[in-house]
Amino acid sequence: MMKILRCLVEDLTLQTLLLLVVVLLGLNGLVIGLGSMSSIAISYGEYGSAFCGLKSDGSHLVTCYGSNSAIIDSTPSRVQFTGLTAGNGFVCGLLMNNSRPFCWGTSSFIAMGVPAPMAKFVEFMELSAGDHHLCGLRKPLMGKQRDTSLVDCWGYNMTKSHVFEGQIQSISAGSEFNCGLFSQNRSTFCWGDETSSGVITGVPKHVRFRKISAGGYHVCGIIEGIDSNVLCWGTSWESQEEIAMALARQGQVNVDLAPLDPMLSVVGGRFHACGIKSYSHEVVCWGFRVDTSTQPPKGVRLYEIASGDYFSCGVVADRSLSPVCWGAGFPTSLPLAVSPGVCRSNTCDNGFYEYNNGTSPCKSPGSRVCLPCSNECPPQMYRKSECTKDADRVCEYNCSNCTSIECSSNCSYTDKKTERFWSLQLPVIVGEIVFGVLLVIVVSITAIFYVRYKLRNCKCATKGVKFMKNSGFPKDGGKVQPDLDELKIRRAQVFSYNELETATGGFTEESQVGKGSFSCVFKGILKDGVVVAVKRALLSPDMKKHSMEFHNELDLLSRLNHAHLLNLLGYCEEGEQRLLVYEFMANGSLHQHLHGNPKALKSQLDWVKRVTIAVQAARGIEYLHGYACPPVIHRDIKSSNILIDEEHNARVADFGLSLLGPANSSSPLAELPAGTLGYLDPEYYRLHYLTTKSDVYSFGVLLLEILSGRKAIDMQFEEGNIVEWAVPLIKSGEIQAILDPALTAPSDLEALKRIANVACKCVRMRGKERPSMDKVTTALERALALLMGSPSNDQPILPTEVVLGSSRMHKKSSQRSSNRSELEGDVAAETEDQRTEFRAPSWITFPSVASSQRRKSSVSEADVVDPKVSENKLFGDGLRSLEEEIGPASPQQHMFLQHNF
């Protein structure tokens, strides 16, 4: 079949010419495969083993690890190689720059460096090393000699140039022989010494091989065709197999027979061979295995393999590209990563695919590593995908239609893999889901609590709570809450100046019902007959400046709606005029009743009526603090701001001075102190610490005022400050001493005692120690129940309508549009009386009024006999006790006190 010619090539002129043609035509593209030369090479022998490989970074540089120091130390670190091969004690590489061999290590048969060339300008396409020799397959010739192949060999008994008829695809060197594979008819042939191997005469005839690989005394080839089986031959193989089998029977060595699996590649060791299985890419070895051998890695896919004498190594087919060795005597230290194949400059041939795992292992432009595709799929498998230029063919068992044991076992393996995956992953996934759910729950709960904490006093959006018109009490008798829809609809009505002028009869003196620090109050009757109180601001030059705040504030205040609040109905803003329109309170203020003329009014307010008013006022303030949203701090709770409507219900008025305060009473507003002397929270005016507890303080003063009938500040007494006077008496149990002498004390003082105690708590120096308004309200309601004859204070609080029903307790006023009541006549006198109250700044009511003007308008010279005396009298003890509790006042605070009071 083939004819082998042996001769020396002497026609250098022709050779040179042919090589030139090869270069010009770029005949690299005609090269089919690279035979046994590889990206990895293994050396073995008495000097130790070594693993050399081309680096995985595509640099074509070589790296060697192992115990053969001669190889490791002489490794050319800066020389680029196309591929590598190795024998006993030496490694050779094909130089990239001139396609010639270069060897390093120690061998008495092979010259280190570039072995002496057999001819000038020769270039090789493949190298293959035997035990003690090296052969190189020259690049194909062209022209008439294109069917002639040249192989140069160096080393023991081998140094010679060989010429073969026919184009050789690849060569493979054995122990003392070599074999070649013709590219056209895929036949193989061997030459050299076959004394111990018998491989030359044993070459199988008429068998076409895809690939061959020589070992120590045998050759194995992958037969062309679908099966891609391995066929090994060599007389020594057979005889050694017999010997080995005999020894194996004695338990000394193991022998594995060649597998029937289709193979992708095969390599030969001294007495063994290994191959990469086509479908699984797993490695399988056969032949003789010394009993110290380790098994090839199971379940690991490999790209490239190479064999030494009693061991083999491969490159793991994953991103790591790490080498792995098995058998006996392999190097223990290995490179981290090596190239999965040799780089070539032409595109991959049919049956090969381009390796690409994110980064290319070839740096030279246009070069690539081509890896062999898996063979046809076996009968029980189906092709999941074909071999393409970029990817290997994928074969899979049809697990839904298994007819063979192999298929079932593979499917069960797949199932097991899936099972294993789930057994490992399921707890993690479940854990993650549980963690995620818990996290969401915790975050949600935290958010809910945070929002509830922030809005704990905010209940703006409570729906479905309807007000009883005019009574203003919720049907459940509980806390009063605004109806959202109603609030949305309710807006401050804008009145024209003419409208209000007409209503009040031109703001005449007759229609004036009161006078405050910054305003006069007139009674008016609107076109529709509604009786209103029109509060007209004293004119101020910078009134316009605060127009926007005025509007915003009015808009907010007009949304407040409670039975015990004096509701703002509307306003007028024209030019410099600022007018507020309120519901008209026919029975004047609590101040008028307690301290006004005629004195009879005072005694008309019996204990039940007084406590009822206290409860109703407390409810109004509680609404401002707890149910208005945002919460409102009144800042000016006093008896003149508790108005009495026609049904004798109390209405908290003048929250025009209120600031929209923080929901949290622990986050004070830094505002200038405002309010009325005697009612003003000392913590607030000392520290500007404004909270809802400031209103609680003022309310405590109001309670003392209700109980004693004394003004908050009354200079006709030795102790003019009601708190300084009443609290010590209450604390010492002398409750009777503070009760209003205008009224007969009730037989049972318990209810009034409780109210007095509540008052004491309200006027505590530290706001934090004062009760909140809802607690105050509850305590007052219970006291009222007790006062009205309820046997136990544990009795549930009676609904407000029942306890305080206006029809049962007060005489209903006859007409809404009636003229001034008998009380109204006393208002003028009352106004004077009120002027003893000292006011701090209020921008919301009418911001332009300067504090000096306010003092002027509200304080007559006669009221303050001696400012120094009164200051000391009024604040001496109060400040002392405050300073005992919260430290001395700063100079600025003193200045402020002196300036404002």
Which listed range, 92-100, 239-247, 377-385, 580-588, lies at the site for ligand ATP (CB under 6 A)? 580-588
DSSP string, 529-581: S-EEEEEEEPP-TTTGGGHHHHHHHHHHHHH---TTB--EEEEEEETTEEEEE
User: Per-residue contact track with ligand ATP, 633 to 652, x per CB under 6 A?
Assistant: ---x---xx-x---------
**Both tokens of residue 64?**
């060697």
DSSP string, 6-62: ------HHHHHHHHHHHHHHTGGGG----TT-BSEEEEBSTT--EEEEEBTTSS-BE
The SS3 call for residue 63 is strand
By CB under 6 A, name the one of 148, 658, 858, 900 that touches ligand ATP. 858
- What are the strands of the beta sheet with 302-307, ordered from one edge? 302-307, 311-316, 323-327
**Both tokens of residue 294?**
């380790």
By CB under 6 A, name the one of 276, 302, 533, 628 that touches ligand ATP. 533
Contacts of 182 (CB under 8 A, 6+ apart): 2, 166, 167, 168, 169, 188, 189
How many C-beta neighbours within 10 Å does residue 682 have?
Answer: 26
Distance between CA 367 and CA 89 in Å, rounded? 31
Question: Residue 519 interacts with ligand ATP (CB under 6 A)?
Answer: yes
The minimum distance between CB 665 and ligand ATP, in angstroms, equals: 23
Question: Residue 564 interacts with ligand ATP (CB under 6 A)?
Answer: no
Distance between CA 612 and CA 293 in Å, rounded? 104
The upper half-sphere exposure of residue 543, i.e. CA atoms within 13 Å in the direction of its Cβ, equals 16
The minimum distance between CB 627 and ligand ATP, in angstroms, equals: 22
Question: Residue 115 interacts with ligand ATP (CB under 6 A)?
Answer: no
Distance between CA 139 and CA 122 in Å, rounded? 8
Cβ atoms of residues 312 and 47 within 8 Å = no
Give me the catalytic one of 152, 309, 392, 636: 636
By CB under 6 A, name the one of 516, 570, 682, 767 that touches ligand ATP. 516
The minimum distance between CB 464 and ligand ATP, in angstroms, equals: 30
Contacts of 791 (CB under 8 A, 6+ apart): none
Q: How many residues bind ligand ATP (CB under 6 A)?
A: 26
Neighbour-count burial for 6-36, b at 16+ CB within 10 Å, e otherwise = eeebeeeeebeebbeebeeeebeebbebbbb
User: Per-residue contact track with ligand ATP, 652 to 691, x per CB under 6 A?
Assistant: -xx-------------------------------------
Which listed range, 161-169, 304-312, 478-486, 514-522, lies at the site for ligand ATP (CB under 6 A)? 514-522
The minimum distance between CB 830 and ligand ATP, in angstroms, equals: 6
Distance between CA 794 and CA 779 in Å, rounded? 11
The minimum distance between CB 651 and ligand ATP, in angstroms, equals: 8
Residue 535 assigned to a binding site:
yes
The minimum distance between CB 437 and ligand ATP, in angstroms, equals: 57
Q: Which is nearer to ligand ATP, 311 or 623 (CB)?
A: 623
By CB under 6 A, name the one of 517, 698, 708, 870 that touches ligand ATP. 517
Interaction with ligand ATP in 809-848: which residues (CB under 6 A)?
A: 827, 834, 839
Q: Which is nearer to ligand ATP, 265 or 676 (CB)?
A: 676
Which listed range, 475-483, 554-562, 583-591, 745-753, lies at the site for ligand ATP (CB under 6 A)? 583-591
The minimum distance between CB 594 and ligand ATP, in angstroms, equals: 12
Interaction with ligand ATP in 382-421: which residues (CB under 6 A)?
A: none
Question: Residue 579 interacts with ligand ATP (CB under 6 A)?
Answer: no
The SS3 call for residue 223 is strand
Distance between CA 228 and CA 589 in Å, rounded? 112
Which listed range, 4-12, 577-585, 694-702, 744-752, lies at the site for ligand ATP (CB under 6 A)? 577-585
The SS3 call for residue 264 is strand
Residue 67's nearest CA partner among 87, 84, 46 is 46
Q: Which is nearer to ligand ATP, 178 or 592 (CB)?
A: 592
The minimum distance between CB 635 and ligand ATP, in angstroms, equals: 10
Q: Which is nearer to ligand ATP, 42 or 644 (CB)?
A: 644
Cβ atoms of residues 36 and 50 within 8 Å = no
By CB under 6 A, name the one of 43, 265, 589, 708 that touches ligand ATP. 589
690 secondary structure, DSSP code: B
Residue 122's nearest CA partner among 156, 155, 98 is 98
CA max distance for the chain: 150
Question: Residue 628 interacts with ligand ATP (CB under 6 A)?
Answer: no
Q: Which is nearer to ligand ATP, 341 or 588 (CB)?
A: 588
445 by Cβ neighbours in 10 Å (0-12 / 13-18 / 19+) ranks as exposed
Q: Which is nearer to ligand ATP, 521 or 763 (CB)?
A: 521
Distance between CA 215 and CA 219 in Å, rounded? 6
The minimum distance between CB 640 and ligand ATP, in angstroms, equals: 4
By CB under 6 A, name the one of 344, 535, 710, 873 that touches ligand ATP. 535
* Helix/strand/coil (H/E/C) assignment for every residue in 93-125: EEECCCCCEEEEECCCCCCCECCCCCCCCCCEE
Cβ atoms of residues 309 and 268 within 8 Å = no
Which listed range, 162-170, 518-526, 545-553, 727-735, lies at the site for ligand ATP (CB under 6 A)? 518-526
Distance between CA 442 and CA 6 in Å, rounded? 87
Which listed range, 132-140, 259-267, 370-378, 509-517, lies at the site for ligand ATP (CB under 6 A)? 509-517
Q: Which is nearer to ligand ATP, 339 or 848 (CB)?
A: 848
Torsion of CA 183, 186, 191, 194, to 10 degrees: 160
Q: Which is nearer to ligand ATP, 154 or 584 (CB)?
A: 584
Question: Residue 588 interacts with ligand ATP (CB under 6 A)?
Answer: yes
By CB under 6 A, name the one of 584, 627, 875, 901 that touches ligand ATP. 584
The minimum distance between CB 843 and ligand ATP, in angstroms, equals: 13
513 secondary structure, DSSP code: E
Which listed range, 214-222, 346-354, 578-586, 623-631, lies at the site for ligand ATP (CB under 6 A)? 578-586
DSSP lists the bridge partners of residue 99 as: none
**Both tokens of residue 770?**
């004062």
The minimum distance between CB 759 and ligand ATP, in angstroms, equals: 22
Q: Which is nearer to ligand ATP, 103 or 644 (CB)?
A: 644
Contacts of 888 (CB under 8 A, 6+ apart): none
The minimum distance between CB 837 and ligand ATP, in angstroms, equals: 6
Question: Residue 515 interacts with ligand ATP (CB under 6 A)?
Answer: yes
Helix axes 867-886, 722-731, angle to 10 degrees: 50
Q: Which is nearer to ligand ATP, 517 or 708 (CB)?
A: 517
Distance between CA 480 and CA 467 in Å, rounded? 8
**Both tokens of residue 107?**
């061998």
Which listed range, 224-232, 507-515, 540-548, 879-887, lies at the site for ligand ATP (CB under 6 A)? 507-515
636 is catalytic: yes
- The residues annotated as belonging to the active site are 636
Binding site for ligand ATP (CB under 6 A): 513-519, 521, 533, 535, 566, 582, 584-585, 588-589, 636, 640-641, 643, 653-654, 827, 834, 839, 858
Feature table: binding site for ATP: 535
Feature table: binding site: 535
